């Protein structure tokens, strides 16, 4: 029991020691924090805290006549440089504009040259397109869709033969017989159909004493009326007879079915 009381007493003394030590440390911290207040005084510290000039610096420049003159000189120099740059820029713009105008004139000249060449090519094409020659006497036979022969075709051929005989007279003439189709159907089938039509007309001409030169089928090429693919057109299903005689006048006569 005595030992227990002694141990308990030691524990109590140890706790008291800890409490006393903590209190002493707190007192020292308070004294350290309050030391400036005691030394400087609270009003002085508050006044310095409110003073905006504390911790800042300012510089005052005195503008003497010499400094003002230097500033004016620098401003004038900058103005002159700016005007010089503007003048150079205007000069460059004028040069660029002149080059653009020259280029535009050149483009117009090229366009006119291209137009002239296209017109010339168009004229040459019209003179050489099969079935549209301007230096021959032409007759055109039109065909129903898918047909090579038939009453309406034969009547057109006979009418064309009469016209051709009147033109031939005693001249040395020969005929080109050119077949064409529309775009309805396959290319190869239309080519074969145009060849058969040309051959049929050529046989009729030959049997009536008209000399033949070229007999050819063109299929869908050289359409009389330009149409999209797979389009039927009565004006494209045709055979053109080109009668080429010595000194023959340029005539294009088309036979029509009755």
Collapsing DSSP to helix, strand or coil, 220 comes out as coil
48 C-beta neighbours (distance < 10 Å), count? 12
Distance CA 129, CA 131 (A): 6
Q: Look over the chain and give the mean of its residue pLDDT values, rounded to a whole number.
A: 77
What is the structure's pLDDT at 254? 41
pLDDT at residue 27 is higher than 90: no
Q: Where do the domains of the chain lie, and which CATH numbers do they carry?
A: 137-252 (3.30.1330.60)
- The tens digit of pLDDT for each residue in 61-107 reads 667 888 788 888 888 888 888 888 888 888 888 888 888 888 888 89
pLDDT at 248: 45
């Amino acid at each position: 029991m005595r030992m227990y009381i002694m141990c308990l007493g030691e524990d109590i003394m140890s706790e008291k020691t800890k409490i006393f030590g903590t209190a002493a440390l707190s007192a020292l911290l308070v004294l350290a924090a309050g030391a400036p207040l005691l030394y400087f005084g609270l009003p002085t510290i508050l006044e310095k805290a409110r003073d905006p000039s504390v911790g800042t610096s300012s510089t005052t420049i005195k503008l003497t006549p010499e400094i003002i003159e230097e500033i004016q000189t620098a401003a004038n120099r900058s103005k002159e440089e700016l005007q010089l740059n503007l003048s150079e820029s205007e000069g460059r713009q004028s040069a660029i504009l002149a080059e653009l105008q020259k280029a535009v004139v050149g483009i117009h000249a090229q366009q006119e040259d291209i137009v002239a060449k296209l017109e010339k090519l168009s004229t040459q094409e019209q003179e050489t397109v099969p079935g549209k020659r301007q230096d021959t006497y032409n007759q055109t036979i039109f065909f129903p869709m898918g047909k090579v022969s038939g009453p309406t075709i034969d009547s057109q051929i006979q009418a064309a033969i009469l016209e051709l005989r009147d033109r031939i007279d005693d001249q040395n003439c020969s005929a080109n017989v050119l077949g064409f189709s529309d775009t309805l159907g396959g290319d190869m089938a239309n080519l074969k159909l145009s060849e058969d039509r040309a051959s049929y007309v050529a046989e009729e001409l030959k049997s009536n004493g008209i000399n033949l030169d070229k007999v050819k089928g063109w299929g869908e090429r050289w359409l009389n009326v330009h149409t999209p693919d797979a389009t039927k057109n009565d004006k494209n299903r045709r055979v053109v007879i080109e009668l080429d005689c010595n000194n023959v006048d340029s005539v294009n006569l088309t036979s029509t079915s009755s």
